[in-house]
A and B are shown apart, each in its own frame.
Chain A
């Protein structure tokens, strides 16, 4: 490495290697420059390898190195232990842009990115809207979910984007939403481009109208038997009902039994309902 001044370099490409994708908090440390930024030159272009948006008076120029060395420096400088998925995607894009054989890239292996499908998924993340990228960068999703996300049609990517803005969903809710959108994509109006809870619920409801109608009617009936929980533990594969209640005294017990007796019609109604739905 040798130290050179800014005047000695005609122009510097600060964008190409700019793979970091952190929120402002994360970027703070990265742009607190202790040393001059590093440059790597190829075909007359000087690529800035760190402090990406920072212009300096002096730079370290890496000498006698190839793309692989430059990339390693850039990654090691920022720390390779805690990269988010969007940064991995940016690094993949960068490597492929320089026609670098990514099978030599041990970093991907370290992050569990192996196989064509995962590479394809990682490649596609780059084209997602910024809101989604920012969300993915701070969460931890499996490639299974990411793979469904990147295969959604454009209008549903818009739905996901506005879902994030509107609901700031948990990882679990986001995963469920992406899966449902993927499963039901043909049934969602193509002109739906933003998150509309009611509209989507209408489509998702079609996945099992019968069960939902049954459960809704059942809920009404079981609600009439206060202090006694009525459940079927096998998704109504059998007609066995579990009745659960808690007592703290013999009086409680008598009261509950008395209530059950008074409301015994509820049990009859539940079995009638089950019969109506072919569950008894």
Chain B
């Protein structure tokens, strides 16, 4: 790799959950993601910051297997996402859109996701996912009748119902109240301690750094900074982030 700043920090655990090598995605003439490389091991959490249009969402969609890279590759649990559907089973995605069917109830939505992932006990899995997001009492309500924040909680339950080993979160705290945020943080911590790798996109630096083992700043499709959390000074990071980003403004 060209820049010394991109060298992967020392891994905490051994097995690598996510590997991106020279990952690029071009839309028409625009390079939304441009030669991004990083590695995340089990139990690690990468907090990804960056201004709007930096390519964070595209990167997440590449890692979820929803987009195919124009160049480079990404491995999840050692398997390429392009090799077949199986590798996608290990990934969970919380995105801007709820990915829910509005006429179906919260329980039906989450159970459907559990069945699609071939969970042995979809009913139980859905129940425990909804419980962890504290929306079990609204499980039978059609999603369209739920408030925005509750929909977000159901959406998160949908994303974690299959106990993914890699959890990609695109601004997951948006719209959540205190109870929801606490439930999400708890769920993310639980996923991490049981060996999942997390990728957390957020605008809130404090929120991201609280959970992270690594931090990266994305700008114009590239990682402008990438380092271990231990090397980050939380107080000066905000200033440095603003300086880095203001180049575009």
Q: Do A and B come from one complex?
A: no
Residues of A in contact with B (beta carbons under 8 Å apart): none
